Structure 1
Amino acid sequence: MARMFPPGAGPSPDPAGSHHERRIRSFQPRRSRVTKGQRTALEQLWPRWGFDVDGMRQLDLGKLFGDPDLPIVLEIGFGMGEATAEMAAADPATGILAVDVHTPGQGNLLRLADEQGLDNVRVGNGDAIILLREMLAQDSLSGLRIYFPDPWPKARHHKRRLVQPEFLDLAAGPLRPGALLHCATDWEEYAEQMLDVLSAHPEYENTRPDGGYAPRPAHRPLTRFEGQGLTKGHAVHDLVFRRS
């Protein structure tokens, strides 16, 4: 895939390259049309607020955010970034490490952050598995958010779903004790799988005493994908588990 930006001036098309083992990806890399505003934001802001998930170094989150004491929440998959920007604006005392592979969404989130004066958002480009495995220190995250991940509805593709026991093993390292893992989906069968694998994992405990789904927390805005699901009559389920 051809590079859209000069080196260092925007996200790379394949940041990890051949440096790390290939695996079944839980996402589809997308390079749809980038608007003029998104391109401008990427070119101007990427060197300051963006980074490639290349797996070649461990991130110094205190340096990345300019505050070693700032609690950091990782958000995997943020779409066009509207909900991420809204959460960042509502909670400036928390840093949001937002990771996706969608170039227009990366540009749009950077544009929103710039327009709203949000200095608590950093945008990562690449595979969140490599980020968790290679680039984040033990106990470096105060939370993990996974909102409306690809449900991979066909049975033969279920192995591509992100929330699996192996993923939870990996996330348990960077998540410090007491950190919250918050998932949301409008796909009923995927919600059931999430609840099963999270409930069975020894490193996580459900914040719900009844062991079920949680009401939508006030800090999670109504996302575009959620609106689409509700329009289709889908029930939306939130799962909020604590790293033990």
Structure 2
Amino acid sequence: MFPPGQGPAADPAGSHHERRIRSFQPRRSRVTAGQRDALLRLWPEWGFDIDGLGHVDLGALFSDPELPVVLEIGFGMGEATARMAAEDPDTGILAVDVHTPGQGNLLRLAERNGLRNVRVGNGDAIILLREMLAPGSLSGLRVYFPDPWPKKRHHKRRLVQPEFLDLAAGPLAPGALVHCATDWEPYAEQMLEVLTAHPGYENTRPDGGFAPRPPSRPLTRFEGQGLDKGHRVYDLLFRRR
């Protein structure tokens, strides 16, 4: 779809690189002209492929070795990510997704709003955490509305599992905030259970339960529509010990 080095690769790590069950399904949606233009122009500077072949120097990636960096896994079309970046310009957001239109839209929003603290990763966040980030290099982790895989036989595909928390614990610095959110109650209960049981994390809530939505997580249009219908959104705020 894009010339080498001028846009996200279709399969950056190579199909031979991973044989595990994935927590996501690549979506083949049409890329608009504006999204394609943003990808072609901005990808060489603000984007990178998660290929598992080398370490990511976050200081060099954000052109600021002192900038704290938060990893966001799955950002959809990027509207909420852009808002968070605008409201907190002193924090870098490393936003990872596999959806090409969303990648292009986030880059377009970042340019339009003069956001210099957003970088876009294309590919599997598991490979990024396991092979490409230095220990203690992240100041936070955000997982907002991951695929709940509601069918019981698919629960093994859910992202937030003990193994994922083990993996994330390495790149997360002590005190790093882990913020998860979902509107699927059974998945919320599972997240709370596995985070509470893991010795590397502690709940910021004294009662050990869910947290109110913090102002730092924007209320999206779709979330607002769900709330109007009586749906509940569950936020979890834990810290790396």
TM-score > 0.5 by shorter chain: yes
**Structure 2 residue aligned with 1:195:** 192
**Where does 1:142-153 land on structure 2 (aligned, <5 Å)?**
142-153=139-150
Cα distance, 1:226 vs. partner?
Answer: 2.1
Task: Verify: 1:180 aligned to 2:206, yes or no.
Answer: no
Cα distance, 1:174 vs. partner?
Answer: 0.2
When normalised by structure 2's length, the TM-score is 0.98
Alpha-carbon separation, structure 1, partners of 2:21 and 2:188: 21
Instruction: Kindly indicate whether the alpha-carbon contact (under 8 Å) linking 1:148 and 1:226 is maintained by their aligned counterparts in 2.
Output: no
Cα distance, 1:223 vs. partner?
Answer: 2.4
Cα distance, 1:228 vs. partner?
Answer: 4.6
Q: 1:127 to 1:232 in 2, by over 3 A?
A: farther
**Where does 1:1-244 land on structure 2 (aligned, <5 Å)?**
4-18=1-15, 20-244=17-241
Cα distance, 1:188 vs. partner?
Answer: 0.4
**Residues matched between the structures, number:** 241
Q: 1:146 to 1:32 in 2, by over 3 A?
A: same
Cα distance, 1:107 vs. partner?
Answer: 0.2
Taking only the aligned residue pairs, the percentage that are identical comes to 83
When normalised by structure 1's length, the TM-score is 0.97
Alpha-carbon separation, structure 1, partners of 2:69 and 2:183: 26
Deviations 1:58-117 (A, max 9, x none): 000000000000000000000000000000000000000000000000000000000000
Unaligned runs of 5+ in 1: none
How large is the Cα RMSD of the aligned pairs? 1.0
